[in-house]
Amino acid sequence: MRPFFRASACAIVALALLSTPVLAAELTVSAAASLTNAFTELKAIFEKSHPNVMLHMNFAASNPLLKQIVEGAPVDVFASADQATMDKAAQGGCIDPASRRNFALNTLVLIVPRGAKHSPAAPADLAGADYARIGVGNPASVPAGRYTRESLMSLGLWDGLRSKMVMGASVRQVLDYVSRAEVDAGFVYATDARKGADKVDTVLTMSGHTPVEYPIARLKNAANAKDADAFIALVLSPEGQNVLAKYGFSAPGK
């Protein structure tokens, strides 16, 4: 009986191993903070169609994400909120240039706390006493801050408002400042204002800046190039574009 028992035990162990899900691969996507909600939903869609892949999402301002990549962070896909940061990634040899695609457009807006006493009718109103603190993404690291600087400089307002500015480490941090009424107004993307619509009011759409266009690319040294390409394909697909549209993004220009 003993040989039979051993064979049966081995068969049971083998069956148990076969029935246990095995993660064949891992995939890491670093994406701009403004993509948090849309990419979190895309993550669920991707994992459903790729059950043997563990997808990790890393959200932050675009420049810090690039810094992590340059310093050796194990990233497979990079999605930036501006072309300038992706250009730096390309110039540094971080991405495969053939994989780079534009996948979404956004809009820069001015918001105030929901139900605020004062709402600027024009950007120049921010110079008034009613707006002592203005939330802005730090232009040194946050694309939304750079778009804001461009817009206000085109109006001749940047220098005059700098003393009022409270710099955020990401566009989502600026949204939080306004949501909690820690600042009197703030500059964020329309998608962020939409997310926080229960706590903020959008009062102005800004102009005078380069288009808020989002590029995505596979890292040159991606450990999982196959699944990286599959994730990018999902983002660019009709299904992916519908998810982005759901969160307020528009399709990129051709």
| pLDDT tier at 5, thresholds 50, 70, 90 | very low
How far apart, in whole angstroms, are the C-alpha atoms of residue 54 and residue 25?
A: 6
Give the residue, 2 or 76, on which the prediction is more confident: 76
Mean pLDDT of the chain: 92
* Cα angle 36, 167, 197; round to 5: 45
Q: How far does the chain reach from its first CA to its final CA, in angstroms? A: 72
The least confident of 23-32, 92-101, 168-177 is 23-32
pLDDT for residue 165: 98
pTM: 0.84
How far apart, in whole angstroms, are the C-alpha atoms of residue 102 and residue 100?
A: 7
pLDDT for residue 240: 98
